[in-house]
Chain A
Amino acid sequence: MNSRVVAAIARKDIVDAIRNRYLLVALTTPLFVAILFRILLPGISSLNTMTIVVHDPGDSRLVTQLRASPQINLVKANSAEGLANEVENSEAVAGLALPANFNADVAAGQQPEVTVYVNNKKSSIQQAVLKQLLEQQVLALVEPIPAKLSWIDVGKEAGAQPQVGFNLNQMLFPLLLLITFGMSGALVVPLLLVEEKEKRTLDFLLTSPASLSEIVLGKALTGVVYSALIAGVLLAINHRLIGNWPLTLLTLLLGLLLVVAIGLFMGSLFQNTMQVNTWASLVLMVLLAPSFPTPGLPAALETASRLIPTYYFVEALKLSLDGTASAKLWGYLAVVLGCTVLSLFAATWGLRRQLN
């Protein structure tokens, strides 16, 4: 293996892809999608921590409960009268005014009045999340509560940190990453290879000191560089979400290699850009399918989704984002690695067969 040759091919492709408007659009689409989400859902990035201003002269149990929630940042109000103004002129999503005898009233079965000042400058999503959260917390004050609900995540490892509250961002993040990788795998990488076939530049490469494996690796390196670059930007934007950094990075690297290898396999099958364009959207949909939230999926489809290699990447990513290093995670990563090696082997074999 000649690393100079692999680097030369990758360098050429990296520069050339920027000049190819089609590839450039495909590569940057996930970034645009991420930006679009943030424009359409402006409060999404601040859902994880909400600031609430409170006036609580009686040190109520409700405020103690709220303080225990990692999702909420409580700020003490100076006075009950100025609370509305304070909310309006701050980044707080709401203000709570509680009576001094709140605890006693609750214990007596009375209904103390809690006034909530909602900051209308905040997004409707944030307001909805706040409402849901407060209702949950108020209900939790009643002792005994009318019914006790036990929530058990089936398949979740023992010791895994529970997810708190609304988590749209954490659902979108794997989707965005998979769009990035999927675009690279289903579109960019196959095109890098197919264009060489179509323009007959592959003939030049094959008469140069480059071997077929070096050509394939050079293309893979290009896909990895571009995907890693865009994934890096997405990670930077969403850095607060990452549970276990080393694990998440390892998962991303393996996932990235998987889709690049799938892309190379596609590139070895197709002969021209039209074929790639025709099939890419279908392949992209299949690759992305495991990242869509699908509650209540029929068992047959659930089983079928396990045949898609990216299913294991998405599951591993969810676990690593939760900060869970478990046998299950390692198992998923092993499947991802196995599929990558298989796809790379199939790509080289397919190309060699075609050329001979």
Chain B
Amino acid sequence: MNAIEVAGLSRTFNGLRAVDNISFTVETGEIFGFLGHNGAGKTTSIRMLTGQLRPTAGRAQVASCDVVIERRRLKPLIGVVSENQNLYERMSGRENLAFAARLYGTGSKRIDEALEQVGMLERAADNVQHYSNGMKQRLLIARALLHRPQIIFLDEPTSGLDPVVGRDIRRLVLELARQGVTVFLTTHYMEEADQLCGRVAFISEGRIVALDSPDNLKVAHGKKALAVRLDDGQTLTIALDDQDAGARLEQLVTSGQIRTLHSAEATLEEVFIQITGRRLSE
């Protein structure tokens, strides 16, 4: 069953096409990566899918709700973590969640559960302005999960965070997916997308230019090769498509010269550059 269905979705700003005829589906419980450089159309797409922005053309269904016609029904079914840490800074963490709970009509018991889920229960009484970026990000996720949404949109959830917090958030994302929550993720970190996402879509200049699992993309666009580092410091790349690759490898193994042996397949970043002609961080 599809959690998100998008068909021919477009959005124009003053004649400029920010999102141009994109189509894709996301299955329930899937972690779907939406990757693109700055200005590629990611945020505009998320704003359309979350009912904040009307599409110029096309249609989208999220949690079986039309994003234009059924916005009111859609909103309690989704959670959104914006790339901006849009919390109320003069309020405490708990007050932020209490406000969200009142908006969603969620019981106050759920506040502590959500805080616990992101490891923020102990600091809940502190004012948000005294939180670190990592704590703010955890609180944003707790707020997005408060009303138990079917689908969660995470816009750059680990951007600018230290590795430990980033790892914790990735764990949380995987846990959510295990619980059946669909995750729509945008990230600048290709390794993160590779690690978390079942499928990724590359968006460039408003268009989806590739959509598949990270493995399939790497295989389709990368070289099949092995990187061999020898005892003398020399590094060899053996293309597996070559006819004599097996013989060369056997020779190196029997000679005992190999120090390390690695797969030399393309990274998702390299695939992205190959397809779009730009780096993700541009």
Contact = CB atoms under 8 A, between A and B. Distances in A.
A199 interface: yes
Interface in B33-79: 50-54, 72, 75-76, 78
A4 interface: yes
Contact of A204 (B72, B76, B86, B102): B86
A16 B90 contact: yes
A209 B103 contact: yes
A61 to B, nearest CB: 68
B104 interface: yes
A142 B274 CA distance: 107
Nearest to B79: A207
Contact of B100 (A15, A16, A20, A208): A208
B103 A8 contact: yes
B52 A355 contact: yes
B238 interface: no
A20 B90 contact: yes
Given A8-B99, A8-B103, A209 B76 contact: yes
Contacts of A204: 80, 82, 86, 100, 143
B90 A19 contact: yes
Contacts of B54: 356
Contacts of B72: 209, 211
B90 A4 contact: no
Nearest to B104: A209
Query: Which range holds the interface residue count of chain A?
Result: 20 to 34
B75 A208 contact: yes
B86 A210 contact: no
B104 A356 contact: no
Contact of B91 (A4, A16, A208): A16
B148 to A, nearest CB: 14
B103 A5 contact: yes
Contacts of A19: 90-91
A52 to B, nearest CB: 55
Contacts, number: 65
Between B53, B88, B100, the greatest number of chain A beta carbons within 10 A of the residue's beta carbon is seen for B88
Contacts of B84: 200, 203
Contacts of B75: 207-209
B89 interface: yes
A156 interface: no
Contacts of A211: 72
B139 to A, nearest CB: 12
Contacts of A208: 75, 100, 103-104
Interface in A3-53: 4-5, 7-9, 11-12, 15-16, 19-20
A73 to B, nearest CB: 51
Nearest to B102: A8
A2 to B, nearest CB: 9
Contacts of B87: 201
A16 B98 CA distance: 13
Contacts of A15: 91, 95
B52 A203 contact: yes
A13 B72 CA distance: 23
Given A208-B75, A209-B76, A16 B88 contact: yes
A221 to B, nearest CB: 14
Nearest to A4: B105
Interface in A318-332: none
A253 interface: no
Nearest to A356: B54
B238 to A, nearest CB: 51
Contacts of A209: 72, 75-76, 103-105
A206 interface: yes
Between A4, A9, A204, the greatest number of chain B beta carbons within 10 A of the residue's beta carbon is seen for A204
A30 B78 CA distance: 44
A74 to B, nearest CB: 57
Nearest to A20: B90
A216 to B, nearest CB: 15
Contacts of B143: 204
Interface in B69-128: 72, 75-76, 78, 80, 82, 84, 86-91, 95, 99-100, 102-105
B82 A200 contact: yes
Nearest to A211: B72
Interface of A: 4-5, 7-9, 11-12, 15-16, 19-20, 199-201, 203-211, 355-356
Given A204-B86, A356-B53, 12 more contacts: A7-B102, A8-B103, A12-B99, A19-B90, A206-B51, A207-B51, A207-B78, A208-B100, A208-B104, A209-B72, A209-B103, A209-B105
Interface of B: 50-54, 72, 75-76, 78, 80, 82, 84, 86-91, 95, 99-100, 102-105, 143
14 contacts: A7-B102, A8-B99, A9-B103, A19-B90, A19-B91, A20-B90, A200-B86, A203-B82, A204-B100, A204-B143, A206-B51, A209-B76, A209-B104, A210-B103
* 7 closest residue pairs by CB, A with B: A8-B102, A200-B86, A200-B84, A207-B80, A19-B90, A208-B103, A201-B86
